[in-house]
């Protein structure tokens, strides 16, 4: 279940010809001081509530439930001040990999983050970074969605 | 939607002849610093996840979702250190009212809280308190379930 993922800022313009673009809007209902989070999300029309346990090595729990429209609308006001929206552009990369470019909109406009998921550490280590990728931000907690939703774009490393 | 409710500690022994007894086990998945809470509960076999917004006068949101057994079991570990269990005994009172006696078990054993819900402020104000009720604790935040789950039985007012 552990994700092997690397993240980068986007260097220049967004490439043309995304295979797919989804609008993602999400808001956090509750973020516990122990790190547990509960968020709701609308992605390409699908409505979900997700519970994530704190990062704790191998045992991270993630449970996703579908919501109907009425429930989503009633819960959305609880996420005030803890929201984000982005367009997720998917691009095929060599080797069967996918670059997921998150173009943030609204309060986070200007931030663009590329993520690539790997099936093994080996594949991750050997990844040939495309030249349209910018600085790597893998593991930088400030770029976690929930940090962005609460604190906005990190100051020190504004996107190029 | 606003509940009109009064709460009391139980004075002496539990009356005999409850109309119904339900075991309730609940745990908090996340309690946000703004007061929003997400809890799961098993009550008489029914499994639910509930999101409650902070107390904010008239606009409190409460959304309850059913969980299946597998999901409940996967979420339960996230509530470690934020759990409680109680037996809820229901007794009929004059005037069509119901006394709900919560007999806490486990870490909260010894605590017994009686709650009565009313349909109007008038009915609440005119309530004839049965002599088996003890000190009133309506509005005492220390007796909220989530406070009990996290902090245990309040020290100063140990149950008689």
Tell me whether A48 touches chain B (CB under 8 Å). Answer: no
Cβ distance of A31 and B29 shorter than 8 Å: no
3-state secondary structure of B13: coil
Cβ distance of B65 and A49 shorter than 8 Å: yes
3-state secondary structure of B20: strand
Determine the residue among A29, A34, A55 to mutate to test chain B binding: the one whose Cβ has the most chain B Cβ atoms within 10 Å.
Answer: A29
Q: Active site includes A104? A: no
Distances (CA, A) of A138 to A9, A54, A150: 10, 18, 19
Over chain B, what is the mean pLDDT?
A: 92
Q: A75 exposed, middle or buried (CB, 10 Å; 0-12, 13-18, 19+)?
A: buried
Single pTM value for the model: 0.85
Distances (CA, A) of A89 to A19, A23, A24, A86, B132: 7, 9, 11, 9, 65
Confidence of residue B61 (pLDDT cuts 50, 70, 90): confident
Confidence of residue B56 (pLDDT cuts 50, 70, 90): low
Q: Which residues in chain B are closer than 8 Å to A32, comparing Cβ atoms?
A: 29-32
Task: Give percent above pLDDT 70 in chain B.
Answer: 93
* Chain B nearest-CA residue for A74: B61
pLDDT at A2: 60
pLDDT at B57: 57
Average pLDDT of B42-50?
95
Cβ distance of B31 and A32 shorter than 8 Å: yes
Average pLDDT of B119-143?
94
Q: Which residues in chain A are closer than 8 Å to B33, comparing Cβ atoms?
A: 33
Determine the residue among B27, B28, B29, B31 to mutate to test chain A binding: the one whose Cβ has the most chain A Cβ atoms within 10 Å.
Answer: B29
Tell me whether B150 touches chain A (CB under 8 Å). Answer: no
Confidence of residue B3 (pLDDT cuts 50, 70, 90): confident
Q: Which residues in chain B are closer than 8 Å to A83, comparing Cβ atoms?
A: none
Average pLDDT of B100-123?
95
Is pLDDT above 90 for B157? no
| Structure-derived torsion over alpha carbons of residues B148, B150, B153, B156, reported in degrees to the nearest 10 | -110
Neighbouring-strand partners of residue B49: B40, B65
Is pLDDT above 50 for B1? no
pLDDT at A124: 95
Q: Which of these is catalytic: B6, B7, B8, B28?
A: B28
Residue ranges for chain A with pLDDT beneath 50: 1, 160
Neighbouring-strand partners of residue B27: B40, B83
Cα A102 → chain centroid: 7
Q: Tokens for B32? A: 């946000």
The Cα–Cα gap between A101 and A57 comes to 26
Average pLDDT of B145-157?
87
């Amino acid at each position: 279940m552990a994700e092997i993922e690397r993240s980068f800022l986007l260097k220049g313009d967004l490439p043309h010809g995304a295979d797919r673009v989804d609008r993602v809007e999400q808001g956090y209902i509750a973020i516990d001081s122990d790190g547990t989070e509960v968020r709701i999300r609308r992605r390409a029309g699908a409505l979900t509530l997700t519970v994530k346990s704190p990062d704790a090595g191998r045992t991270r729990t993630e449970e996703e439930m579908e919501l109907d429209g009425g429930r989503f609308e009633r819960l959305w006001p609880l996420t005030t001040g803890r929201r984000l929206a982005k367009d997720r552009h998917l691009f095929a990369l060599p080797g069967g990999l996918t670059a997921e470019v998150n173009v943030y909109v609204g309060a986070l406009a200007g931030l663009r983050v590329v993520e690539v998921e790997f099936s093994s550490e080996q594949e991750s280590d050997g990844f040939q970074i495309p030249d349209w990728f910018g600085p790597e931000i893998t593991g930088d907690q400030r770029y976690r969605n929930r940090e962005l939703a609460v604190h906005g774009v990190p100051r020190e490393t504004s996107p190029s």
